[in-house]
Amino acid sequence: MLVLAACLLALASPLVVGRWPAGLLLHRWRAPLLIWATLAVQVVVVEVRLPHGLAPVAHVLTYVLALGFLWLNRRLPGAVLVGLGAASNGLTIALNGGVLPASRWATSAAGIDPHLAFANSAVVDHPVLPWLGDVFAWPVPLPLANTFSVGDALVVAGVAVAAWTGARPVRRAA
């Protein structure tokens, strides 16, 4: 939820200085249903208790779908940054059995319960590429306290680039 909120703020940020992210909004998206399907599967993976073994596989699949969408739309400014972030997270998740490894410090600082049934991010024994996992924290008591990764930061930066590139002044009614 933290990364989603940060992406929404990045999308809206041109409005603060009287600009509208028209370039992003008017972009002719290729295969837009692919990203909506990706988001729907992500929600199911995180919010629905799935049969053992299905959640990690579905979690990795969402990154494959997202990367496919980003590849098709790679000419959009910022898409490469978003793709690098998604690839970083997706690779790390795939190499860690469907879970993004998190540091004990970050989960503790964010107030995350380590005993959840399936978490898309969790402390794991002997993680692969741990520095690409959730090693940063947006701590309690801040709203949306959570952990985040380098990949997440790249995704948000890419969304900001996409929002600001091609931003146009908001026309005021006379």
Give the SS3 label for residue 75. coil
| pLDDT tens profile 141-174 | 999 999 999 999 999 999 999 999 989 998 776 6
Domain ranges, ordered by start, for the chain: 32-162
Over residues 9-56, the pLDDT tens digits come to: 999 999 999 999 888 888 899 999 999 999 999 999 988 989 888 999
Would you state the pLDDT for residue 117? 60
Cα atoms found within 13 Å of the Cα of residue 154, Cβ hemisphere only: 18
Query: Residues 59-93: pLDDT tens digits?
Result: 999 999 999 999 999 999 999 999 999 999 999 99
Rounded to whole angstroms, the Cα distance separating 69 from 141 reads 35
pLDDT, mean of residues 124-128: 96
